[in-house]
Chain A
């Protein structure tokens, strides 16, 4: 509902909104154009063909886009914690997280989701995959779980803001940075980094593990094959962690003087 209000105030400037939506779409799309250009020069990337990289890019992009659409406002919460305007949110009879998520809700972030989806669908048309019912089912489940994983990481990051108000950039390196990482095949990265995103901040479950299963490729960092289906489980566990972190954060909120 708070989101609805922000949409309404955005919609008063309809032309401006359409332009930002379009530019947002373009900016993220240029990312992909860069990959496209790269493939004009080289045949494969870490043993991955263009369509396969596009699949990784599309799944990561869509998952991140959905998470950013719903939870992206959290990263701007630091300012509200610092100046104490979070007080007002705490007085209202609605969950704080929902209110913050809807705070300054920006419809323009749909551009990111749309772009991810376009690439995803395009890659599915190009790919030559032996589809099984399991693979068909896995893909949407992975995208949704991926969005939840990204969202949970954003919530954990936002919880830290209750103690350290300038920590938003740290979270961004995991979310935006993680998104960029996941858009490329794991084979091009150092093994330690890959292990890190499997076992420490489990971003690999967003798309790497499920997509590699779809592509009939071995999972990285010695992960068993069934891990490709563990994304919903990982998402659920992360949600629990995020919930605890958020509660602890709210309890530590200090407001400001006066």
Chain B
């Protein structure tokens, strides 16, 4: 194997097309249509990288992950993980990867956490010493000690998530895929999960690929981010680079004395209003001072503030660029 030369994960024009049948007029007539869930994605991930994979619902994130793990067979393109074609050699690959689905547990619902781990131990044929060591480390770092004897169905979402992450790591996977690992978790649980993942990446050198809707996950964990929409890769690079690509705008929030028609000043764009409060957008590269002066001169001002573009807005704009509806409600 030449995996030290090749990237660890490699996608080339990967495609997944679903045929969707929809009921048409008439009892048995059906319309067929194609959905290109993943529409020609190419990227490469090196060993030890920590990559965030983001996009709106239905963008193709989960479908990509499912192809990377061998659950789904690609419709086209080339895919290699650790030199293995996932769909062809699924069981061989399974020994080398760990997967956590935020929405679905891989643990045995009715058994205590401990028994699930014991089953993993045997199923993955993990050497006893490795198993003990890994389990002890996970139990300590994820604070699972008191939960080991509790049946999985009685665990809270945050506890179950930690249990799932531990289960995915017992066999020393070289790469860990996480599909929305922080979905539905409270702030404390999220922080604990992030801390653990960061620790894992630095101490074990495990490659991590995670999808999320929570950009804080990306900001705190990932040096690299990939944005996908409509099955296509929109951006691949550093998080900070997104601002330039996304044509960021800053927001000027203006509080007027009374409700007035939309403010119209050069260099700014009216976004929306709510009673006497109005939102104006202007390019992040421009200065706010002349704009403020102009508004103050022409309108009865009470207060105003400037909002820096947050990454969420930038990404929302990127999504907006590919679809008709604008997503300004996110602001």
A residues near B, CB below 8 A? 1-2, 5, 9, 84-85, 87-88, 90-95, 250-255, 257-258
Question: Inside 8 A of A9's CB, which chain B residues have their CB?
Answer: 110-111
Assess whether B91 is in contact with A257, with CB atoms less than 8 Å apart.
no
* Complexed CA–CA distance, A254 and B74 (Å): 11
| 12 A–B pairs (Cβ distance < 8 Å), ordered by A | A1-B119, A5-B111, A88-B105, A90-B70, A92-B94, A94-B91, A251-B73, A253-B73, A254-B72, A257-B62, A258-B103, A258-B180
* Complexed CA–CA distance, A172 and B111 (Å): 31
Question: Inside 8 A of A92's CB, which chain B residues have their CB?
Answer: 91, 94, 123
Given contacts A1-B122, A258-B103, 18 further A-B contacts (CB under 8 A): A1-B123, A2-B119, A5-B111, A9-B110, A88-B106, A90-B71, A91-B71, A91-B106, A92-B123, A94-B123, A250-B73, A253-B72, A253-B73, A254-B18, A254-B72, A255-B66, A258-B62, A258-B179
Assess whether A91 is in contact with B69, with CB atoms less than 8 Å apart.
yes
Question: Inside 8 A of B141's CB, which chain A residues have their CB?
Answer: none
Q: Give residues 1-33 of B contacting A (CB, 8 Å).
A: 18
CB-nearest residue of chain A to B86: A90
Assess whether A87 is in contact with B104, with CB atoms less than 8 Å apart.
yes
Assess whether A84 is in contact with B91, with CB atoms less than 8 Å apart.
no
B101 at the interface (CB under 8 A from A): yes
* Complexed CA–CA distance, A37 and B305 (Å): 93
Q: Give residues 100-159 of B contacting A (CB, 8 Å).
A: 101, 103-106, 108, 110-111, 119, 122-124
Assess whether A91 is in contact with B58, with CB atoms less than 8 Å apart.
no
Assess whether B104 is in contact with A88, with CB atoms less than 8 Å apart.
yes
**Chain B proximity of A67: nearest CB distance (Å):** 24
Q: Contacts A88-B104, A255-B72 known; A5 to B66 CB distance under 8 Å? A: no
B95 at the interface (CB under 8 A from A): yes
**Chain A proximity of B214: nearest CB distance (Å):** 15
Q: Given A2, A87, A93, A254, which contacts B124 in the complex, CB threshold below 8 Å?
A: A93
Interface magnitude class on chain B: 20 to 34
CB-nearest residue of chain A to B105: A88
Question: Inside 8 A of B179's CB, which chain A residues have their CB?
Answer: 258
User: Across chains A and B, which 8 residue pairs bring their CB atoms closest together, nearest first?
Assistant: A93-B94, A251-B73, A90-B71, A88-B106, A93-B95, A93-B91, A91-B99, A258-B103
Question: Inside 8 A of B84's CB, which chain A residues have their CB?
Answer: none
**Chain B proximity of A195: nearest CB distance (Å):** 31
B295 at the interface (CB under 8 A from A): no
B239 at the interface (CB under 8 A from A): no
**Chain A proximity of B178: nearest CB distance (Å):** 13
Q: Contacts A95-B91, A251-B73, A254-B18 known; A87 to B66 CB distance under 8 Å? A: yes
**Chain B proximity of A248: nearest CB distance (Å):** 10
B326 at the interface (CB under 8 A from A): no
B87 at the interface (CB under 8 A from A): yes
CB-nearest residue of chain A to B19: A254
B90 at the interface (CB under 8 A from A): yes
CB-nearest residue of chain B to A84: B104
* Complexed CA–CA distance, A230 and B124 (Å): 40
Question: Inside 8 A of A251's CB, which chain B residues have their CB?
Answer: 73, 87
CB-nearest residue of chain B to A5: B119
Question: Inside 8 A of A258's CB, which chain B residues have their CB?
Answer: 62, 103, 179-180
Assess whether B71 is in contact with A255, with CB atoms less than 8 Å apart.
yes
Question: Inside 8 A of B71's CB, which chain A residues have their CB?
Answer: 87, 90-91, 253, 255
Question: Inside 8 A of A84's CB, which chain B residues have their CB?
Answer: 104
Assess whether A90 is in contact with B104, with CB atoms less than 8 Å apart.
no
Assess whether A93 is in contact with B87, with CB atoms less than 8 Å apart.
no
CB-nearest residue of chain B to A252: B73
* Complexed CA–CA distance, A258 and B103 (Å): 8
* Complexed CA–CA distance, A229 and B70 (Å): 41
Assess whether A5 is in contact with B72, with CB atoms less than 8 Å apart.
no
* Complexed CA–CA distance, A250 and B122 (Å): 24
* Complexed CA–CA distance, A252 and B101 (Å): 21
Interface string of B45-67 (1 = CB under 8 A from A): 00000000000001000100010
Assess whether A90 is in contact with B90, with CB atoms less than 8 Å apart.
yes
**Chain B proximity of A20: nearest CB distance (Å):** 18
**Chain A proximity of B86: nearest CB distance (Å):** 10
**Chain B proximity of A86: nearest CB distance (Å):** 8
**Chain B proximity of A244: nearest CB distance (Å):** 15
Assess whether A93 is in contact with B123, with CB atoms less than 8 Å apart.
yes
Assess whether A257 is in contact with B58, with CB atoms less than 8 Å apart.
yes
CB-nearest residue of chain B to A91: B99
**Chain A proximity of B83: nearest CB distance (Å):** 17
CB-nearest residue of chain A to B94: A93
CB-nearest residue of chain B to A9: B110
Question: Inside 8 A of A93's CB, which chain B residues have their CB?
Answer: 91-92, 94-95, 123-124
* Complexed CA–CA distance, A84 and B180 (Å): 17
